[in-house]
C-alpha cells in the first residue's frame, strides 16, 4: 500500500493534522455517502473573516484522511475568500499526488470546505450559492473504491 502513495500522503494519514470536533465552531460542513465509504465533517472557527481554527473528522480510507488533513492545513489562517479558492487539484498537488482511483477523496475535501463555508454564509443570513456555488450531492462516482 505505501508504495502507491507519496511520503506526504503517508505522513498525513499516519499523523493527521487538525483532527477532532470543535464544539464552538462558527460553521460545520459534512459531505460524503456511506455507500462510498467516505464521510467528512469539517469544523471552522472564523474570526474577522479569517479561519483561525479548523478541525475534521473523517470516516474513510487513508487517502480520505490524508486529503482531509491537507485541506485543513491549506485553509487554516486564510480568509474565507482565500479558502474558497482551494481546489481538489491543490490538495492533490500539496500531497505530491494520489493514485487516480483516489483523486475523488480530494474532491470530498474541497466539497467539505465549501459545505462549511456554505453553512457560514447561511448562519449570517446570506444565500451561499452565489458565493460558494452549488454543493454536489454525491461523492463523485467512486463506486465504492475507497474502502474503509
The CA–CA distances, whole Å, from 29 to 6, 32, 95, 99, 120 equal: 28, 10, 22, 26, 9
**Measured distance CA(101)–CA(108) in Å, rounded:** 13
Active site includes 27?
no
- CA within 13 Å, CB half, 57: 9
- Beta carbons of 31 and 132 less than 8 angstroms apart: no
Active site includes 105?
yes
3-state secondary structure of 31: strand
Catalytic hit among 27, 61, 105, 146: 105
Catalytic hit among 36, 61, 142, 146: 36
3-state secondary structure of 33: strand
Which residues participate in catalysis according to the annotation?
A: 36, 105
Amino acid at each position: 500500500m505505501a508504495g502507491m502513495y507519496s511520503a506526504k500522503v503517508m505522513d498525513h494519514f499516519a499523523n493527521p493534522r487538525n483532527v477532532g470536533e470543535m464544539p464552538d465552531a462558527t460553521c460545520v460542513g459534512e459531505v460524503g455517502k456511506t455507500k462510498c465509504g467516505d464521510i467528512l465533517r469539517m469544523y471552522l472557527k472564523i474570526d474577522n473573516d479569517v479561519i483561525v481554527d479548523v478541525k475534521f473528522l473523517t470516516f474513510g480510507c487513508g487517502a480520505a484522511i490524508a486529503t482531509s488533513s491537507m485541506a485543513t492545513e491549506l485553509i487554516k489562517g486564510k480568509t474565507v475568500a482565500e479558502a474558497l479558492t482551494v481546489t481538489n487539484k491543490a490538495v492533490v498537488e500539496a500531497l505530491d499526488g494520489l493514485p487516480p482511483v483516489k483523486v475523488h477523496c480530494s474532491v470530498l475535501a474541497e466539497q467539505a470546505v465549501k459545505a462549511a463555508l456554505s453553512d457560514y454564509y447561511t448562519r449570517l443570513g446570506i444565500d451561499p450559492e452565489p458565493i460558494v456555488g452549488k454543493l454536489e450531492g454525491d461523492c463523485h462516482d467512486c463506486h465504492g473504491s475507497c474502502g474503509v
